[in-house]
Amino acid sequence: MLPSDIHQRDTDMEDPRVLTEPEAFELVAHLVSSADTSLFEPRRYPPFRLLDAAGRLATIAADRVDGELRTFWAELAADIAANQDLMMWDPAGFEAFIRETTVRIVDEQRRRNDR
Amino acid sequence: MTGADHRPVMAAITARRVTRRFADDRLDRTVLAELIKAARWAPSAGNSRLHKFVVADDPSDLDAVDLVSPGMERPPPALIAVCTDLQACEDQGVEVDIDSTVLVDVGTAAMNILLAAHEMGIGACPTTSFSRSGVAAALRLPDRLRPEMLLQLGHPAPTETGTHRSTRLSVDDLTIWASD
């Protein structure tokens, strides 16, 4: 999906603004510096960094919405926080969590489309 | 092993844990200087002493380092950046990205700091997940210094239990007797 598509869709639906500019700056700094460390770190780290960034974003989003959306974001953030360190102890479990989370995102998208 | 180990060095080695969350209070510079003293006693390949220790305790510097360090949860009260002195490497004919002892010496110095910090009741966390160029800019490092490892330092936060999951292989699993 192109960023312009996301923007167009945002204008078509309820639009709770999720990120303040300082929060966006901090998240971009995390992503850019993670891109840098991904050049030399073991290959299990880049997915960990992306998941970490997703958790940060989910945490922020949970604070800015209500109802079912809040539940979705809060639970997602909590589950990422609880499972992202599996990278260090349980690589297979870490990979399984990533795949399960991807499916969860698809399920959430379906739920939204069915509303 | 059960019970306390009465060998002080072994006791420190086995009791030390990484601290990831720190109290807000700053560390006295005399404490930080003691940690550098520990580092200077670390073994160094060929006694080449190719590293410098950049100490940061200014909150704005620490915020900047945190921003470009994915391996850091939040800015610590202080940190020591173990840096390779590229000019010293050149002066001594050390090929910095070929000679593995350059990084081995980072590890020996860092371990001395970690153990000294443990003895002094200071929490510490070694960190290598950071943008080298970003940290160099955040700490205003001269071009000759390349940051290799950050040692986050501070008093452990009250919520820091020091009981992170810690897996250790057994001595049997780790050991291969060459003669067997």
B68 touches chain A (CB under 8 A): yes
Q: How confident is the model at residue A88 (pLDDT cuts 50, 70, 90)?
A: confident
B27, B138, B157, B111: CA torsion to nearest 10: -70
Any idea how long chain A is? 115
A-chain residues near B165 (CB < 8 A): 85, 89
Minimal C-alpha gap between B64 and chain A (Å): 10
Minimal C-alpha gap between B94 and chain A (Å): 21
Query: Which of A27, A28, A36, A89 to mutate to probe the B interface, most B CBs <10 Å?
Result: A36
Contact B45, B105 (CB under 8 A): yes
Give A19-73 pLDDT, tens digit per residue: 999 999 999 999 999 999 999 899 889 999 999 999 999 999 999 999 999 999 9
d(CA A8, CA A65): 20
pTM (2 d.p.): 0.83
Q: Which of B67, B128, B131 lies at the smallest CB-CB distance from A36?
A: B131
d(CA B119, CA B113): 10
Contact criterion met (CB < 8 Å) for B70 and A33: yes
Contact criterion met (CB < 8 Å) for A33 and B131: yes
d(CA B106, CA B85): 11
Q: How confident is the model at residue B164 (pLDDT cuts 50, 70, 90)?
A: low
Contact criterion met (CB < 8 Å) for B71 and A33: no
**Angle of helix A91-114 versus helix A67-83 axis, rounded to 10:** 170
Computed over every residue of chain A, the mean pLDDT equals: 88
Q: If 0-12 CB within 10 Å is exposed, 13-18 middle and 19+ buried, where does residue A90 land?
A: middle
- B163 Cβ partners below 8 Å, 6+ apart? B17
Closest residue of chain A to B66, computed from CA coordinates: A30
d(CA B81, CA B121): 20
Contact criterion met (CB < 8 Å) for B131 and A49: no
Closest residue of chain B to A48, computed from CA coordinates: B70
The confidence score (pLDDT) of residue B22 equals 96
Contact criterion met (CB < 8 Å) for B134 and A33: yes
Give B51-100 pLDDT, tens digit per residue: 999 999 999 999 999 999 999 999 999 999 999 999 999 999 999 999 99
d(CA B113, CA B127): 13
- B69 Cβ partners below 8 Å, 6+ apart? A33, B127, B129, B130, B131, B134, B135, B150
Minimal C-alpha gap between A29 and chain B (Å): 6
Minimal C-alpha gap between B164 and chain A (Å): 11
Query: Which of A28, A32, A37, A43 to mutate to probe the B interface, most B CBs <10 Å?
Result: A37
B-chain residues near A94 (CB < 8 A): none
Q: If 0-12 CB within 10 Å is exposed, 13-18 middle and 19+ buried, where does residue B108 land?
A: middle
Question: Which has the closest alpha carbon to B75: B88, B57, B93, B96?
Answer: B57
DSSP string over B66-84 = HHT-TT-SS--SEEEEEEE
Q: What DSSP element (H or E) covers B112?
A: helix B101-119
